[in-house]
Structure 1
């Protein structure tokens, strides 16, 4: 991971991150950190981590489907880690891929659960492109517009000119098959 070092495996299925994840400054470092947490979630790997700052430059509610921090990086005065832990559950947000489409299930807000099917070529291509942190300037106009739509639906994090998809592709199935 760029901008942070992954520590040792503390036990089978757990990663301990030695340094705070660089979420506080936004940009590429934050996008890489989110991708790292998303990929751990995808593989159902527990992560022990802290962010680099108390305040993040984006709505942390976007991330409540990812493993919560064990504490906050700065003074620890924020109640955010406890709120994150109380809202977190495996499988709150995920995607599945089919031929020429992606289905996304978003249950982060129980009152407004949503299912999206991404099948329009530009939308699908943009979603797949931002599986890796991507500079918005590297995208053409159609893909930037698609990323903007995905960000409006809270499926992509855009921070200081960088974008990364939020829903993990789950490899362990936690929910009934009728939920997709």
Structure 2
């Protein structure tokens, strides 16, 4: 009976969005350029998607924050707050908010997928930690649609209302006409898994 030959290929790499230049070595991702975050719009939504997917795969990420473009043409969005992002890997460097590094821990916000629902655990505010089950079809569809950055103009009236409800709970970030879901899908659990 023939025996299977061991694979000489490297293990599969996680499927990360192709929106930022990065290098990956094992479980460590290094983003090559400072990330424009806080100006809002598409670049911010895509950066959040990238960091969320790194968190989802339990990857260590080294990245630095850029709050506006080099010429200052993209000012910070007036309504942008970093606090809802503290569950994501914090930036390094002088532009990094100190409170992000202090507040961050793995598993603060995540979702688990069920048949016809998602269950979300949100511990970003320790004194107001919640578990939510999103099973309403419109809310569930909006949550899944916004896993990829989406313009509000591309959503139906019902979908925009659903995004508004999710944004009020800080489960979707809406900035300058773009929406992106914030919770990562946890694929790697701490030991013991009750830790998150």
Tell me whether the two structures share a fold, i.e. TM-score over 0.5.
yes
Q: List structure 1 segments (4+ residues) > 4 angstroms apart after TM superposition.
A: 175-180
Q: 2:37 aligns with which of 23, 29, 32?
A: 23
Equivalent-residue separation in structure 1 for 2:153 and 2:188 (angstroms):
34
| Structure 2 counterpart of 1:116 | 132
Unpaired stretches in structure 2, ≥5 consecutive residues: 1-17, 69-74
Q: 1:62 aligns with which of 84, 89, 94?
A: 84
| Structure 2 counterpart of 1:35 | 49
Structure 1 position 24, deviation (Å): 3.2
Equivalent-residue separation in structure 1 for 2:93 and 2:173 (angstroms):
22
Q: Spell out, residue by residue over 1:15-74, the C-alpha distance to the aligned partner (whole angstroms, 9 max, x if none).
A: 1111111213210110000000000000000111012127853110010000000124xx
Equivalent-residue separation in structure 2 for 1:32 and 1:138 (angstroms):
16
Q: Answer with 1 or 2: which has the greater Rg.
A: 2
Q: Spell out, residue by residue over 1:86-145, the C-alpha distance to the aligned partner (whole angstroms, 9 max, x if none).
A: 110000000001000000000001000011110011000000100000001101011100
| Structure 1 counterpart of 2:11 | none
| Structure 2 counterpart of 1:161 | 177
Equivalent-residue separation in structure 2 for 1:110 and 1:46 (angstroms):
23
Contact 1:24 1:51 in 2 (8 A): no
Unpaired stretches in structure 1, ≥5 consecutive residues: none
Which has a greater percent of helix? 1
